[in-house]
Copies of this chain bind each other. A is one copy, B any other.
Amino acid sequence: MYFAVIGTHVRGKSASPAMHNASFKTLGINAVYIALDVPREELPCFLQLARLNLRGFNVTIPHKEEVVKYLDSVAADARAIGAVNTVLVERNLLVGYNTDASALYQLASSHMKGADVLIVGAGGAARAALFAAIKAEARAVYITNRTYERAEALAREFAEKFKREVKAVRGPVKADVVINATPVYDAVVADLSGASLYVDFAYIPTPRTKMVEEAQRLGIKVIDGVDLLVEQGAQAEKIWLGVEPDRTVMKRAVLEFLGI
């Protein structure tokens, strides 16, 4: 069986091959997971090759939203999110899921319930974070983004879709839970003072992003990019293989790959 992650800067950089290949080995499953750089214009043809050759694949930046329209069916939550990071290939049919959202919900829902949540970013990961926060019944949900208009459009889309308030904000906003849903790792992207939880999607080149270090300095609980990568990967394997993989094996493989 073959599996892959596709994006535009994943080959040799993504830790997913190391993580899943270690998990397959532990599970005794004869499978190989690779990372493939797929330019946007080659996405349709990659998907044709995937139908014929893969059992499943992950989708990362910049394809998480674009891929949705090529799929044969999409799980309800992924459809609502408007982004897919996990695809199951079932009898040549492509079925989309979003395990970014389910992983974040699994790891952070207790902190988000009734709390103010600030999401930094407006791409596929931000969509997953928004869904998890709304599902966790966050009190207030704010979005901030380098390009304000994209934050505004995303806030309006999710407010309408989920019939609740979602606000785009400019500049610093205090929140109980702050989520970095961008690949930015070397800059402080939000004010963490007063927060109880900081979540970071970024783990390349390191999960110790500037914001993770800032949060640890302030004594704030951290869910970093490796924690998220492992959980979304474990949930993807559950979809692909119906197994409950060993997350410690997966995390060890990621840290080893990252040289930590």
Give A contacts to B, CB under 8 Å. 2, 11, 32, 34, 36-39, 42, 44-46, 48-49, 52-53
Contacts and interface: CB of A to CB of B under 8 A. Distances in A.
The 6 closest A-B pairs by CB, nearest first: A45-B45, A37-B52, A36-B53, A42-B48, A42-B45, A11-B53
A52 B2 contact: no
A34 B39 CA distance: 21
Nearest to A37: B52
Nearest to A53: B36
A52 B13 CA distance: 14
A48 B39 CA distance: 9
Given A2-B11, A36-B52, A39-B48, 9 more contacts: A11-B52, A34-B53, A36-B49, A37-B52, A38-B52, A39-B52, A45-B46, A45-B49, A49-B49
How many copies of this protein are present in the complex?
2
A208 B17 CA distance: 37
A46 B42 CA distance: 9
A119 to B, nearest CB: 32
A258 to B, nearest CB: 16
Contact of A34 (B32, B42, B46): B32
- Find the residue from A32, A37, A39, A45 having the highest chain B CB count within 10 A: A45
Given A32-B32, A42-B45, A45-B46, A37 B53 contact: yes
Contacts of A42: 45, 48-49
- Find the residue from A34, A42, A44, A49 having the highest chain B CB count within 10 A: A49
A34 B34 contact: yes
Contacts of A38: 49, 52
A18 B98 CA distance: 33
A21 B37 CA distance: 22
18 contacts: A2-B11, A11-B52, A11-B53, A32-B34, A34-B34, A36-B53, A37-B53, A38-B49, A39-B48, A39-B52, A42-B45, A42-B48, A42-B49, A44-B45, A45-B45, A45-B46, A46-B49, A49-B49
